[in-house]
Amino acid sequence: MSERSFDITLTVNGEELRERVDARSTLVDFLRETLSLTGSHVGCEHGVCGACTVRVDGAIVRGCLMLAVQCDGAKVETIEGLSDTGEIADLQQAFAERNALQCGFCTPGMLLTAQDLLKAGGVPSRETIRVQISGNYCRCTGYHAIVDAIEAVARARTGRGG
């Protein structure tokens, strides 16, 4: 069986790109290995841990379950892009202040998943926050500090105190 590759055009963190990708390359491998965007991590490689979470056309997806070739024409955003635009600066600060990260392996995916909830507005319940991040595994923190940080940012964004 011969290797097959395809030319795709896509936008990554606001930059238009034309790339040749192997048909079997996952989105997260493409981001890390071809574009050197190593903030998206690879953990389980089968859709369980959430370390590879990125945003495609506004929705969070598992970068290990999507092929790069499927992103032809798509708008892809990674932790690097969200950091550069300042979209999640308050979340990043809250995670740091509340010790919501230790080794940091889960953190990029956790931040994208949290922002996916918070951008809907309002102050979600702690239970809703826990459900939202239930697909993002953290081996270090025990999750409480992460929920605290997300809740604090939700309150701050809605002007209801932090």
- Residues making contact with ligand FES (CB under 6 A): 42-45, 47-52, 62, 64, 101-107, 138-141
Q: Provide, rounded to whole angstroms, the least separation between the CB of residue 79 and ligand FES.
A: 14
Q: Provide, rounded to whole angstroms, the least separation between the CB of residue 149 and ligand FES.
A: 12
Q: Which residues pair with 16 in a beta bridge?
A: 11
Q: Which residues pair with 62 in a beta bridge?
A: 53
**Closest listed residue to residue 136, CA positions, set 89, 67, 79, 85:** 79
Angstrom distance (rounded) from CA 162 to CA 152: 5
Q: Provide, rounded to whole angstroms, the least separation between the CB of residue 2 and ligand FES.
A: 28
Q: Provide, rounded to whole angstroms, the least separation between the CB of residue 98 and ligand FES.
A: 12
Q: Give me 144's structure tokens.
A: 């409480």
C-beta of 61 vs 123, nearer to ligand FES: 61
CB 66 within 8 A of CB 93: no
C-beta of 82 vs 146, nearer to ligand FES: 146
C-beta of 117 vs 138, nearer to ligand FES: 138
Angstrom distance (rounded) from CA 159 to CA 162: 8
C-beta of 25 vs 141, nearer to ligand FES: 141
